[in-house]
Structure 1
């Protein structure tokens, strides 16, 4: 009988202790509402972000302060070995007259040597309105939520966000976003 009394008392203590640990564990593993904002910062902010890159052919520093005001801007985040990126680069260079009022910045995070091969293959030096740059700090992909290549972001002549394109892109849609009819 005394044994029963102590057994029941210890059982109650054990149940209470286990319950306490379960409550603590449940609260420790419960999820908080940490969802990312539904509108990415580059859209909500609506302006070209601060950045540092290194442009071809001489790897000079190129920042957002070097972006000319008063002209529409096209940012193209690309991979030099991406077929869609190569197609868009061909479309841009073949139709450069449609981009004469725009400034185009092609940016890659892949090795500088890959960027330079792309630069030479597409003869970017022949197009003064195109700047190609290396994102050594890996800023552009996460900031612009790049999920496929290329990703094009259009800003108007005041530097305000207009529209974005990603993946399989129709170049005529890009002209329209830049203000060309």
Structure 2
């Protein structure tokens, strides 16, 4: 009887040794560089691809919904701190209606920023690739398109600026 507590502890420790390891692999987007993509620009005629991204600049991909208040707020913050993004190219894409994307583009005056490209993703490529659950989803890539950081939801602007400098 006096060895029963020790036996119980020993059995418990032995059972935990046989517990399954976490077998969920990391998402593919964390393992590979920014893939090839194509999005339709607001002019409704031009397709923008990875080849069009400026060389030797970090890339910030923001997948957004034009109706999302968090996305609207994040866009306002980016506009207010645009000087902090001078060494980056921002690619803002939405899988939602082209017309809403164009209205969003015009409402926020995004055409005035040379380092912001807004596009429509009719194939839902980015939402599937990033396995998105919420808008906005932001992925920051280095100059060689290796992933640096992702954000689900609306991160503080200071967190974004830390990765784009």
Structure with higher Rg: it is 1
| Structure 2 residue 97 is the aligned partner of structure 1 residue 111 | yes
Cα RMSD between the aligned structures?
1.5
Aligned-partner Cα distance in 1 for 2:128–2:40: 18
Aligned-partner Cα distance in 2 for 1:67–1:37: 32
The count of residues paired between Structure 1 and Structure 2 equals: 144
Matching residue of 1:155: 141
Matching residue of 1:9: none
TM-score (norm 2): 0.83
Matching residue of 1:73: 59
| Structure 2 residue 107 is the aligned partner of structure 1 residue 125 | no
Q: 1:58 offset after TM fit, Å?
A: 4.0
Q: 1:59 offset after TM fit, Å?
A: 3.5
Runs of 4+ in 1 over 4 A off after TM superposition: none
TM-score (norm 1): 0.76
Unaligned runs of 5+ in 1: 1-35
Structure with a larger share of its residues in helix = 1
Unaligned runs of 5+ in 2: 1-22
Map Cα deviations across residues 120-179 of structure 1 (whole Å, 9 max, x no partner): 00001110100000001111101111111100000011211100011131111011111x
